[in-house]
Every structure is written in structure tokens, then in C-alpha cells.
Copies of this chain bind each other. A is one copy, B any other.
């Protein structure tokens, strides 16, 4: 009759070890670690079922005993990487300061594992994602935001960290091609601007990129993050 899936939706609601059967030769953690190593070295596209299986020392088909599809493998990797986050620097201080500390940790994580930006968030958060939410909520203690608004603020906060880190990683990805790339972009925009349309873009590009010395990436990140946090933590104006 009606079957009623016993388990299944997400990998986080499915037990790692089955009640019966032989003891698995590998583990989710080991497989995820292998995937992370490959992604760090050669990018997310290099993380194939075959490459991960080979790194673990087995065949591609065997991975499907631990994971339902490639997406779940990436979920495993993403959550395991998030386990590297260290929240001790966000232990106390003002909400803004604590969240900024968490944001810095997140930025470092994205720079360490740029492929995280290529994985879109899964519908159900893994344990380390939940831990992130918990710590961000803890940082919100002392603000006058109501409960649901706090969850929303954490989501926006997390997205902002990802967003800013993404622009930073994009430049790093260009690598040594940065000169060629920036040159092409500049030529392209110059061509557009000189056409007469887009006066505001012309004005913004004309202005010099700050005359008082080169700003470090960390400073850019901090100031952008601080601005966003100011908006998120301010009471809503109805």
C-alpha cells in the first residue's frame, strides 16, 4: 500500500551506518576529505565520482553506498569544510564586533576553499551550517530584534559574507591573467562609456580609486561588512 519513505530526503536525516550488513570500509568524513583535497587542488570540476573514488581507493560505483548522487557528495564536502570555522574570536563584544569576527572567519574559509562558492546551499543545512547559525544568533544577543527577524538577519548576514568573498575570489581566480583581464574589461567599459550613454558610469569610473594609498583587501571587506551590519542590526523603520 502506501510505502512512506522510511528515510531519505537529505543525507543529514539518513543514518551513516545501516543497522544490518557489513561494516563499511570507508566513511562520509573520509570521502568528503578526499573530495576537499581534490577541489582545493584542481577546482570543483575535478571532483568527479571517479576521481574521488580513486582517491579513496575504490571504484566509482562504491561511492553510491555512501551518497545518493554527486550533489550529496558536494554537500558533505561543504559542511565538512565549514567545520574549520573557529568562533572563539567571536566570543564577546558588541553584536557588530562579534558578527564581524565571524564574517572574517567566513572570508578566510572562502579564500581557503574557493570552490565553496560554486556550491549552492542545500535545502537542509548540515550540522556545521547549523553551528554557524547558532553562533551568529548568539552574536545577536543584546539586539532588540524579534526571533524570526533574527533568523532572517543571519541568512542575510551569511549571504553577505559569501557575496563579498566571492568578488574577492573572482579576482584571485583571474590569477596572472589579471592584467589581461583588467585590461580587456577597462577597454570594454571605455568603449561603452565613450558612446555617450551611461553618464553616471562614466562619472564613477572617472573618479580616482582613492588617492590615499592602497587599501588592503581586508579593509575593503571590513568596511563593506560593517556597513551591511549597520543596516541589518538597525531596527526596522515602519
Contact = CB atoms under 8 A, between A and B. Distances in A.
How many copies of the chain does the oligomer comprise? 2
A60 to B, nearest CB: 21
Interface stretch (A35-43, A76-84, A105-113, A118-126): A118-126
B204 A151 contact: yes
A214 interface: no
B137 A200 contact: yes
Given A137-B204, A188-B12, A200-B134, A236 B227 contact: yes
Given A130-B201, A148-B207, A197-B134, A181 B123 contact: yes
A155 B9 CA distance: 36
Interface residues of A, number: 66
A236 B209 contact: no
Nearest to A227: B231
Interface of A: 9-10, 12-13, 118, 120, 123-124, 127, 130-131, 133-134, 137-138, 140-141, 146-148, 150-152, 155-156, 159-160, 163-164, 166-167, 170, 174, 180-181, 184-185, 187-189, 192, 197-198, 200-201, 203-210, 220, 223-224, 226-232, 234, 236-237
